[in-house]
Structure 1
């Protein structure tokens, strides 16, 4: 440190904390119920992405979704861009309170049955699912088994195994909208290759629905892959 430069003192330093105004309460001193009310003033996306950085001095604030998501019983639409920080039992317990949930946007997960079955058991009005990432036969068969009345399925910018797509087209008779825009369609036997053009069978099966897709010749994004 240069001579004459002011010393940088951290808040944790007792020499600094002794000057603290006793009338001002710290985050870590707040009652749990008060913290919950604060968390509930934010939407779920804010809770998932950013609030942990604001309340990082508070033990409960280090994982706010675990506290707050249980207390959103009227939640209808949920976007979960990250799944790795949420345990299975936590998200399942939350879903049991989301009786009104209608739409979920989520990344692909390795074990979809535990989640999809929980949605089927507890969210009777659920009608829209959007998945980002690899979409295989296990995911497709799980949806067909537990959510046969699904209305909208979005797989935009995902990697889809062809057999999974065929299963969706065959086993979801109530599906009204299927979005596979900017997707990579992979043959089951040669996953390192990409199917550049949808065949007639796929197009015929998709015909009764609103089928959103793009072609290599008209889509700039797909031309880059």
Structure 2
């Protein structure tokens, strides 16, 4: 009888390689790391370049508690070590095929993380560094010089704008930049970007406090700029007592006129935007609430959304 026949059990190691690759394409990178220890075939299949386009470390879960209401986030040695261990495992399996790397928003990236990633991702095109307060300029240079093919960079803010932008411009040829800056994005930051990365085509300052003079400087000096995103921004008039405002209506005719030369100028109409309708509550934390609940991952420029 059919019921008495012994069914043939197939070993995972004998499964067709292409089938394993398809299976791994449906998993997130954490599952891939765990499954890679099952057998030799499961260890080899993840090394196929197809599943490794993006490594999103925000999938890591940590017991962080309440995130501070300022862009200095949270970190401890155990979490930092865990992130580094997972990063090394994922990069080992990716075999240098990674094109996009997104670091965790709630954990600092230090020199160990950045250098480890840079040495193993020679083909990287997109880098998202939402928190990098523990990185040194020396560490950043060591990392960035390995990413000569980098095209898109997202950073939380720029502590040393001229030094950082000079390093990026010296080793890379980025065409897209996003700066998420709760503190003021002023003419100093703008001059640094223009001086060392003048060929930018896309710049997003979404959810940032922006000096109006900086906007004028951007649009007058960056001749190759095609897309400028200042949606959900707070705008500052430079005066003895700065005036904070939101929305398209507050920019002024001169800025709007300059923006007409761009292919896209993304800005909110205050009366139509729920995020901007509330106005400024407190200078230091007025923008921070916009980084919560992963709002930072979304951008009106689709190529800068993660």
The structure 2 residue matched to 1:91, chosen from 140, 144, 163, is: 140
The structure 2 residue matched to 1:147, chosen from 169, 183, 197, is: 197
| Cα RMSD, aligned residues only | 2.7
Task: Give me the whole-angstrom Cα distance separating, in 1, the residues matched to 2:233 and 2:127.
Answer: 22
Aligned match of 2:179: 131
Shift in Å at residue 51 of structure 1?
Answer: 11
Matched length: 183
Task: Give me the whole-angstrom Cα distance separating, in 1, the residues matched to 2:86 and 2:207.
Answer: 37
CA 1:62–1:35: 2 relative to 1, 3 Å:
farther
Kept after mapping to 2: 8 A contact 1:47/1:65: no
CA 1:203–1:139: 2 relative to 1, 3 Å:
same
Kept after mapping to 1: 8 A contact 2:144/2:171: yes
Shift in Å at residue 177 of structure 1?
Answer: 0.1
Shift in Å at residue 47 of structure 1?
Answer: 7.0
Shift in Å at residue 112 of structure 1?
Answer: 1.0
Shift in Å at residue 151 of structure 1?
Answer: 0.1
1:159-198 equivalences in 2 (<5 Å): 159-190=209-240, 192-196=242-246, 197-198=250-251
Aligned match of 2:207: 157
Task: Give me the whole-angstrom Cα distance separating, in 2, the residues matched to 1:48 and 1:215.
Answer: 28
CA 1:36–1:221: 2 relative to 1, 3 Å:
closer
CA 1:47–1:166: 2 relative to 1, 3 Å:
closer
Give the TM-score, by structure 2 length.
Answer: 0.55
1:23-34 equivalences in 2 (<5 Å): none
Kept after mapping to 1: 8 A contact 2:111/2:134: no
- Superposed CA offset, 1:35-80 (max 9, x none): 985251477435786799xxxxxxxx99433423332111100100
Shift in Å at residue 110 of structure 1?
Answer: 2.4
Q: Secondary structure in 2 aligned to 1:157?
A: coil
- Superposed CA offset, 1:124-183 (max 9, x none): 3x1000001131111101111111111000000000011111100110011000000000
Q: Which segments of 5 or more consecutive residues in structure 1 lack a partner in the other structure? A: 1-33, 53-60
Q: Which aligned segments of 4 or more residues in structure 1 are displaced greater than 3 angstroms?
A: 34-37, 41-44, 46-52, 61-66
Task: Give me the whole-angstrom Cα distance separating, in 1, the residues matched to 2:192 and 2:149.
Answer: 21
The structure 1 residue matched to 2:271, chosen from 212, 217, 221, is: 217
Task: Give me the whole-angstrom Cα distance separating, in 1, the residues matched to 2:277 and 2:197.
Answer: 34
Aligned match of 2:255: 202
CA 1:98–1:212: 2 relative to 1, 3 Å:
same
Task: Give me the whole-angstrom Cα distance separating, in 2, the residues matched to 1:82 and 1:51.
Answer: 5
Kept after mapping to 1: 8 A contact 2:151/2:175: yes
Kept after mapping to 2: 8 A contact 1:131/1:155: yes
Kept after mapping to 2: 8 A contact 1:70/1:93: no
1:50-129 equivalences in 2 (<5 Å): 63-124=112-173, 126-129=174-177
Q: Which segments of 5 or more consecutive residues in structure 2 lack a partner in the other structure? A: 1-84, 95-99, 280-306
